[in-house]
Amino acid sequence: MAFQFPLSAFYCTPNTHTEITGTNGIRMETPPEGGGLHLDTREMDRMLWSENHFLTAEVYHESHDVLVLLFTFRDAADRSITVHYGILPHVKTKLCFPLEALKGEKLFLNRFPGVMQSVIRGDACVDRHTIMHLGVSTIPSTVSRSVTITDICLASALPSFDYAFTPYVDELGQLAGKEWSGKMFSSKQLEQSLREELSDYEQNAAQESELSSYGGWKRLRFEASGFFRTEHDGQRWWFVDPDGYALFSKGMDCIHPAEAMKVKGMEHLIPPLPDRDGPYKDAWINDGFSYGIANLIRAFGEEWHRDWMQLTEHRMKAWGMNTIGNWSSIPFIQQSNIPYVYPLDGFPETTETIFRDFPDVFSPEYDRNAKAFSEQLACMRDDRRMIGYFMRNEPHWAFVDGLNLTEQLLASPKPFASKLVFLDTLIQKYSMIKSLNEAWGSSFERFEDILVDGAAAGSCDWWNSEARKEDFLAFNRIMIRRYVEVPAAYCRQADPNHLNLGMRYAWVGSDDVLEGCEAFDVFSVNCYQSKPDQELIERISKRLHKPVMIGEFHFGASDAGMLAYGIRAVSTQEERGRAYQYFVEQGAVIPELIGVHYFQLNDQPVLGRFDGENYQIGVVDVCQQPYYPFVEKMKLTHERLYDVRVGMLEPYRECPQEIPKTGF
């Protein structure tokens, strides 16, 4: 039987107001800066957290955009985990948090019906048996928020997800019930717009006299190697194209016809869809439906894919892009003459992982899988148009800042090969167990006892010794170095011609993340800020003696027909264009930075892609229409870029005013 939390026991943060609704609901009003409710759970029966498997609640709000609601759990050791939920306005939504997720093993939670993206942040884990605090809060917004929450419960079984049919998008995949500049009102209008644009491009092909056949800058040339490489000219780093010309990489990620909207679990919000076997069969992708592809079929018929590729090639060149970015369409890459980067698939894993996706790096399994992983490069090793490859994207283990993998290693009862290597490092350092005990303040009889007692390490006196901490941190760095170097070496062996562009870290939470990254040719990091982090870029480059590239950045705006605006956001498409120019030109003057790639070509679906992200971050919308104020600033930025990079023009210095994000 479910346990219902007593609503009267919740207390508010300052400026947050509540009102009890009915017998099991509470309406919470939070100010623009955010706020929330808190519950002291120390007096609760501990067994309730053990016997039940889910925390559930029903939520309803009438905001103008997606509401990001946070549930925070804090344990007796003052560790906390917060789950971020994206909730659509004007429809009741059932939230369901699996308490098992407090182990921290997942970054992205499975998506339940009606819910947008669900993401976990915070410490590596929380002890669900000693929960001391539960919080429910909102993130900052442009306006105050009002949300009704009912039936906050601990439950032993999944709740039922019974929703009323409430169509949320129109037949073109646009948000229903709202108008905005650029909205399409018929299939005929959409078809005419796209066909006219394609015809115009065919008759007025862009000419770039200052650029080489690979998009390099003809005013600066180095020694040609036949493939892309990097070079420092004494003042700044550059990519060098196969013919020897300098290149700053201006890229676009995810060049695809469109993303698919997840259908399962969202059926109550979707009007009837076309048959899987009819004219729109190409719009069905696994268990998702792509309105963007359906709109291309409406415009171009059976030859939609050919015409999309031709239109997109023209657009990339007209907009000044010189790189096809990560996760882009393979057929598009193959028919294009624009240089590209390539994401390798299936980064080496092991059957048992130390934390999230961090493998047992000293297991022979890791070495075998790393070798097999590298073999996918063999077929591309002679492609002169390929700039380089990313080994992976945003390792999930690195989302916990300052994560000590050695602690995670010893806390697990699993027989990791890395445990034995850790013991060897201690034996090599201390020789005798007596020496280790003196350093740590411990009383082990044998080195092997560390593996037994390490599982309960937090309660041991020796845990707080500085020598123990340093030994753990040292092995933490050893494991991360091997994590990088083993697959990097195999990749270099399989393909000596192309650049290793790194792992596209989400951010650099500590310098330990940089261990082994000398094996890369370029260190890639994603950067969701108003401008590139010059201090971080300089620090990374100085340590590794390598250039840095930004693999992702974006800006969304609130004036279009979308309900979430991404990780960085502004008010209008005009402001969005200014934000793009500011970011790129401020990056161009950083000597260590050699490229920035925008995420992404298409808006995400109104009802969310596979994981529930639904950001207005595309250069084109679901009807394949460019956001022209944004595009015009992008074109201007790219025309100015090389003169800005070498100091002939001042970079754009007006940082547009941002609005709070709706990112998850």
Whole-structure pTM value: 0.96
Average pLDDT over residues 53-69: 96
Give the separation between CA 553 and CA 597, rounded to whole angstroms: 7
The answer to whether residue 38 sits within a structural domain is yes
| Buried residues in 96-124 as b, exposed as e (16+ CB within 10 A) | bbebebbebebbebebbbbbbbbbbebbb
The answer to whether residue 486 sits within a structural domain is no
* CATH classification at residue 33: 2.60.120.430
Contacts of 170 (CB under 8 A, 6+ apart): 176, 271
Cβ atoms of residues 159 and 4 within 8 Å: no
List Cα–Cα distances, 356 to 104, 120, 363, 409, 556, in angstroms. Answer: 8, 12, 17, 12, 30
- What is the reported pLDDT for 2? 84
Q: What is the end-to-end Cα distance of the chain in Å, rounded?
A: 32
Average pLDDT over residues 474-502: 98
Q: What is the pLDDT of residues 248-291, one digit of tens each?
A: 999 999 999 999 999 999 999 999 999 999 999 999 998 899 99
Residue 308: pLDDT above 60?
Answer: yes
Confidence of residue 377 (pLDDT cuts 50, 70, 90): very high
Poorest-pLDDT segment among 166-175, 207-216, 486-495: 207-216
Give the relative orientation of helices 291-300 and 304-319 as an angle to the nearest 10 degrees: 100
- What is the reported pLDDT for 22? 84
Q: What are phi and psi for residue 441, nearest 5 degrees?
A: 75, 30
Residue 460: pLDDT above 80?
Answer: no
Provide DSSP, 411-449. HS-S--HHHHHHHHHHHHHHSSHHHHHHHHT---SSTTH
The answer to whether residue 612 sits within a structural domain is no
Residue 230's DSSP bridge partners are 239
Q: Domain boundary residue among 480, 512, 537?
A: 480
Give the separation between CA 266 and CA 115, rounded to whole angstroms: 8
Q: Domain boundary residue among 442, 463, 480?
A: 480
Q: What are phi and psi for residue 650, nearest 5 degrees?
A: -75, 140
Give the separation between CA 252 and CA 595, rounded to whole angstroms: 11
Confidence of residue 457 (pLDDT cuts 50, 70, 90): low
Which range of residues forms the domain containing residue 434?
A: 405-480
Cβ atoms of residues 82 and 664 within 8 Å: no
For residue 600, whether the previous peptide bond is cis, meaning omega lies within 30 degrees of 0, is yes
Tokens 């992205």 — which residue?
108
Residue 172: pLDDT above 70?
Answer: yes
Average pLDDT over residues 143-172: 95
- What is the reported pLDDT for 202? 84
- What is the reported pLDDT for 47? 92
The answer to whether residue 521 sits within a structural domain is no
Residue 455: pLDDT above 70?
Answer: no
Poorest-pLDDT segment among 62-71, 142-151, 328-337, 449-458: 449-458
The answer to whether residue 442 sits within a structural domain is yes
Element at 261 (helix H, strand E):
strand 261-262
Q: Domain boundary residue among 480, 498, 520?
A: 480
Q: What is the pLDDT of residues 412-436, one digit of tens each?
A: 999 999 999 999 999 999 999 999 9
Tokens 């039936």 — which residue?
151
The answer to whether residue 319 sits within a structural domain is no
The answer to whether residue 48 sits within a structural domain is yes
The answer to whether residue 641 sits within a structural domain is no
- What is the reported pLDDT for 659? 96
Residue 207: pLDDT above 90?
Answer: no
Number of domains in the chain: 2
Contacts of 408 (CB under 8 A, 6+ apart): 124, 354, 355, 358
Confidence of residue 1 (pLDDT cuts 50, 70, 90): low
Give the separation between CA 585 and CA 174, rounded to whole angstroms: 33
